[in-house]
Amino acid sequence: MMHRLLLVACFAVCSLPAQLQLFLVQNGSEAPVASEYGFGAISTGDFRDIPFRVRNTGTTVTSLTIFSLAGEGFTIANPPQVPQTVAGGAALDFSIHFAPSEAGFFSANFTADGVSVIVHGTARAATSISLDPGDGTPPHVLAPGETIDFGAVRVGSTATRRLTLTNKQANRITIRNVAVVGQAFQLKTAVLPLNIDPGTSASLEVAFAPAESGTREGALEIEQRRYPLRGIANGFTRPGIGFDTPSPASGQQIRLTIRFDSASRQTGNGQVQMEFRPTQPGAADPGILFIPTGNQVAPFAVNQGDTVARFGSQNGVDFQSGTTAGEIIFTATLGEFTEHATLTIPRAAIGLDSTRTLRTSAGLDLQINAFDNTRSASKLTFTFYGQGGNALSPGAMTVDGAAAFQQYFAPSTLGGVFGLHAFFPVHGNPGQVESVEIQLVNSMGTAKTGRLRFTTP
């Protein structure tokens, strides 16, 4: 049953000291409310919340013993505790919630100590509107002015939102005006007028079909109700990560490219990030990095029409594969896309980089620069050859350097790189030693230098 109330409570105002006063709170500022406040007209099923404030405008403490709202359609959203004292100049904030269940005129009497104000509003007969958000979550009733969000949509594709209009009133509701504002939005199904009998529903669909990238906004208007529409048009194309080597290995500088199956319809920036997962746990490698940035992140740019991402002035970005076996995982992010690619750096025998073999009057000086991406180096074998090419006594000399290698690698900040310096005193004429061959063993096999000729500085 509908109540039409107009309550006059002036007697209460006259009998109490006017130390408390009601204010409307708008954008953080206060506007005094004298004897009544109108909530305006809303549709049934909708609601309107208005923030108010009761302030002690005096300089002395006063008591709050009454705080009530009498009347249908209105409630206090967050009432203060009663009784309580209110210091001079202090204030209590609350909201009045207007939510009429049926069409008509509504009023209520707000009363506090020394304050009495009539609040009133009108309800138009209207349907409730619920939105299927399209993300698998159940439909929910739209709040007044709630934004209908279409999320991120690729340029050229369409996202749709379905709205259900339900008549919970006793009489038929006829909807004559439904409109969509905004170039990227379309009303897909609406044969007007829509006649919705009591207890029944009708649905309509709004589509977001952006032709250009960027954030797009619009509005859906159903009779006097207006709901903002919002969608993000994403023109990026899914990035694909590629490498310029068919057989990745340690000690390489490799070019990474990011390509798109079709030309990008959007301009913007992305980044590719690398993460190293060593085969041997804890084997960090600071050499695994993007060369232009010197770290594990490389930004890139995409222009509309591009089929490949730009890293500065280049169509790709170079990185180092390091000197440790494991997996390098690359993650490219662009717009809503996140793509991964994994580059496996296989375990390998020791890689020889450079050698220096010097013959001095005191002996033979060897320097080997190499890397062991397994960090399992063990045996070293040296075989010296005379000028006639014959192996010199005592022949191949093998030492087990496993412990020494482990001792070196443990604190090393260079990944699997090592430099080995060895000096061999020679009893006799060092000039008789023509060359040396060195073998280095790790868990993946034996690396050989071949015969290295000694030079005299």
Partner 1 sequence: MKRTVIFLAVVATAAAESNFTAPLVGVARDRQQQLLLVYGIAGNFVVKGAAARGVLNVAFSGYGGLAKTTTQLLLLNANGAVIRSVPAPPGNTLLAPPSSRSRGLYFFTETAELWQSAARADRKVPIEALMLAGRVIALEALDRDGRYAQLAVCRATALWLLRIELNTGQVAGERMAGGAIGENACQSGSLLLLNRNLVLATRQELILQDASGEERRLQYPSRPSGDVAIRQIGETWIEVETPGEAPLLVRLTGDGEKIYRLPAAEAGR
Residues that bind partner 1 (CB under 8 A): 250-253, 286-287, 289-295, 312-314, 318, 320-323, 351, 353-354, 356, 358, 364, 366, 369-371, 380, 382, 384, 386, 392-394, 397, 399-401, 404-405, 407-408, 412-415, 417-430, 432-433, 457
Task: Please identify, using beta-carbon distances, which residue of 27 and 393 lies nearer to partner 1.
Answer: 393
Tell the smallest beta-carbon distance from residue 76 to partner 1 (Å). Answer: 58
Helix (H) or strand (E) holding 403: helix 402-409
Tell the smallest beta-carbon distance from residue 367 to partner 1 (Å). Answer: 8
Closest by CA to 64, choosing from 33, 97, 94, 35, is 94
* Residues 6+ positions from 445 with CB-CB distance below 8 Å: 349
Task: Please identify, using beta-carbon distances, which residue of 175 and 350 lies nearer to partner 1.
Answer: 350
Tell the smallest beta-carbon distance from residue 271 to partner 1 (Å). Answer: 16
Tell the smallest beta-carbon distance from residue 142 to partner 1 (Å). Answer: 51
- Asked whether the beta carbons of 310 and 301 are under 8 A apart, the reply is yes
* CA-CA-CA-CA torsion sign (82, 88, 93, 94): positive
Tell the smallest beta-carbon distance from residue 414 to partner 1 (Å). Answer: 5
Task: Please identify, using beta-carbon distances, which residue of 228 and 248 lies nearer to partner 1.
Answer: 248
Task: Please identify, using beta-carbon distances, which residue of 246 and 294 lies nearer to partner 1.
Answer: 294
Identity of residue 203: S
Cα distance between residue 15 and residue 6, in whole Å: 21
* Residues 6+ positions from 57 with CB-CB distance below 8 Å: 18, 19, 20, 21, 89
First-to-last CA distance in the chain? 112
Cα distance between residue 226 and residue 186, in whole Å: 15
Tell the smallest beta-carbon distance from residue 251 to partner 1 (Å). Answer: 5
DSSP-assigned letter for residue 430: G
Tell the smallest beta-carbon distance from residue 393 to partner 1 (Å). Answer: 7
Tell the smallest beta-carbon distance from residue 353 to partner 1 (Å). Answer: 4
Helix (H) or strand (E) holding 215: strand 214-222
Task: Please identify, using beta-carbon distances, which residue of 32 and 419 lies nearer to partner 1.
Answer: 419
Task: Please identify, using beta-carbon distances, which residue of 110 and 290 lies nearer to partner 1.
Answer: 290
Tell the smallest beta-carbon distance from residue 232 to partner 1 (Å). Answer: 34
Task: Please identify, using beta-carbon distances, which residue of 31 and 399 lies nearer to partner 1.
Answer: 399
Task: Please identify, using beta-carbon distances, which residue of 209 and 289 lies nearer to partner 1.
Answer: 289
- Asked whether the beta carbons of 216 and 174 are under 8 A apart, the reply is no
Task: Please identify, using beta-carbon distances, which residue of 9 and 308 lies nearer to partner 1.
Answer: 308
Main-chain dihedrals φ then ψ at residue 432, nearest 5 degrees: -75, -15
Task: Please identify, using beta-carbon distances, which residue of 23 and 371 lies nearer to partner 1.
Answer: 371
Cα distance between residue 154 and residue 336, in whole Å: 9
Side-chain half-sphere exposure of 5, counting CA atoms within 13 A? 20
The vertex-276 CA angle with 273 and 280, nearest 5°, equals: 175
3 state SS of 51: strand
- Asked whether the beta carbons of 366 and 421 are under 8 A apart, the reply is yes
Task: Please identify, using beta-carbon distances, which residue of 262 and 413 lies nearer to partner 1.
Answer: 413
**According to DSSP H, which parts of 215-323 are helical?**
none
Closest by CA to 357, choosing from 449, 436, 242, is 436
Tell the smallest beta-carbon distance from residue 277 to partner 1 (Å). Answer: 18
CB-based burial, 77-90: b 16+ in 10 Å, e otherwise = eeeeeeeeebeeee
Tell the smallest beta-carbon distance from residue 238 to partner 1 (Å). Answer: 27
